Amino acid sequence: MNKKVQFQDLGLRDYKEIWDYQETLFQQTVDIKIKNRREAGDIPTPNHFLFVEHPHVFTLGKSGDKDNLLVDEKVLAEKGAQFYKINRGGDITYHGPGQIVGYPILDLDNFFTDIHKYLRLLEEMVILTLAEYGVKATRSEGETGVWLDVGTPFARKICAMGVRASRWVTMHGFALNVNADLGYFDLMIPCGIKDKAVTSLNVELGQKEVDPEEVKQKLLRHFEMLFKAELIKEKTEV
- The H or E element spanning position 29 is helix 15-39
159 is catalytic: no
* 89: helix, strand or coil: coil
**Rounded distance between C-alpha atoms, residue 172 and residue 192, angstroms:** 18
**Rounded distance between C-alpha atoms, residue 229 and residue 149, angstroms:** 31
Dihedral sign for Cα atoms in the order 122, 126, 127, 131: positive
How far lies 40's CA from each of 33, 34, 46, 112, 146, in Å? 10, 10, 18, 21, 41
Q: Which of 130, 191, 198, 210 is catalytic?
A: 191
Binding residues for substrate: 88-95, 160-162, 173-175
Q: How many CB atoms lie within 10 A of CB 31?
A: 11
Q: 33 — phi, psi (to 5°)? A: -65, -40
Binding residues: 88-95, 160-162, 173-175
Determine the length of the chain: 238
What percent of the residues of the chain are helix, what percent strand, and what percent coil, each to the nearest 5? 35, 30, 35
Are β-strands 156-166 and 197-198 bridged in parallel, bridged antiparallel, or unpaired?
parallel
Q: Which residues are catalytic?
A: 191
